[in-house]
Amino acid sequence: MSTEYYPWGGDFTVCSTTSCCAVVLLTIEYTPPQIVAIYGPLKTENIGIEKIVANVISNPHIRYVVVCGEDIRGHRSGSSLVCLHQYGIDDQHRIINAPGAIPYIENLSEEAITRFQNQVEIINLIGDTNQASITKAVTDATAKNPSSFGEPYIAIRMKHETQTLKDTRAIHSKIVIDYQGHVKKRGS
């Protein structure tokens, strides 16, 4: 995997970095064919969406995002992602027309959101849990094989430095949590 792609970690699987299709899984048990660039779940209508947008636009080969499965109650993260793509955000960083409980985008610039809107087409299969029809949509999208959208767009730069907790419990137990939340014993 190219190191410039997928700068914001998360719960996802990388398949083919040159594929034009990514798959967002809502409440569905489904493993897409290995012809996709990346796939993974979307749980929240804020940070979850930010991670998807940041990671998708970092790979200019991704031109389609298939959103499938039943939307998540309360969060409505799939519908909120579709609204972000269609309408963007308002002055308070709220996703316009999003049905989610707290659909605010705080860690992405408007430029990154515009890049997402221009780079990809959303294939909205929210409510579809039929694996055969989802696989057909993925296969049809990848068969189109459009050209790359240009250079990778890195919306989020993660620092990989180790931070020591200031909490006295952490000092007592001698643990360190790095920037991405991984726990390590001090001195390792």
Query: Is 172 a residue whose pLDDT tops 80?
Result: no
Mean pLDDT of 24-31: 97
In the chain, pLDDT over 90 holds for what percent of residues? 76
pLDDT at 4: 63
Indicate left, alpha or beta for 25 from its phi (over 0: left) and psi (-120 to 50: alpha): beta
**β-pairing verdict for 121-126 and 13-14:** unpaired
Indicate left, alpha or beta for 125 from its phi (over 0: left) and psi (-120 to 50: alpha): alpha
Query: Is 36 a residue whose pLDDT tops 70?
Result: yes
Tell me the pLDDT tens digit for each residue of 74-119: 999 999 999 999 999 999 999 999 999 999 999 999 999 999 999 9
For tokens 């048990």, what's the residue? 29
pLDDT at 7: 84
- Cα(169)–Cα(174) distance, rounded to whole angstroms? 8
pTM: 0.82
pLDDT at 115: 98
For tokens 């309360």, what's the residue? 74
- How high is the mean pLDDT of the chain? 86
pLDDT at 8: 84
Q: How far is CA 25 from CA 10, 48, 70, 171, in A?
A: 13, 12, 9, 39
pLDDT at 10: 85
Delimit the domains of the chain by residue range. Answer: 13-144, 159-188
Mean pLDDT of 147-167: 68
Q: Which two tokens stand for residue 146?
A: 């459009």
CATH number of 13-144: 3.40.980
pLDDT at 157: 55
How far is residue 161 CA from its own chain's centroid?
23
Tell me the pLDDT tens digit for each residue of 120-150: 999 999 999 999 999 999 999 999 999 999 9
pLDDT at 173: 40
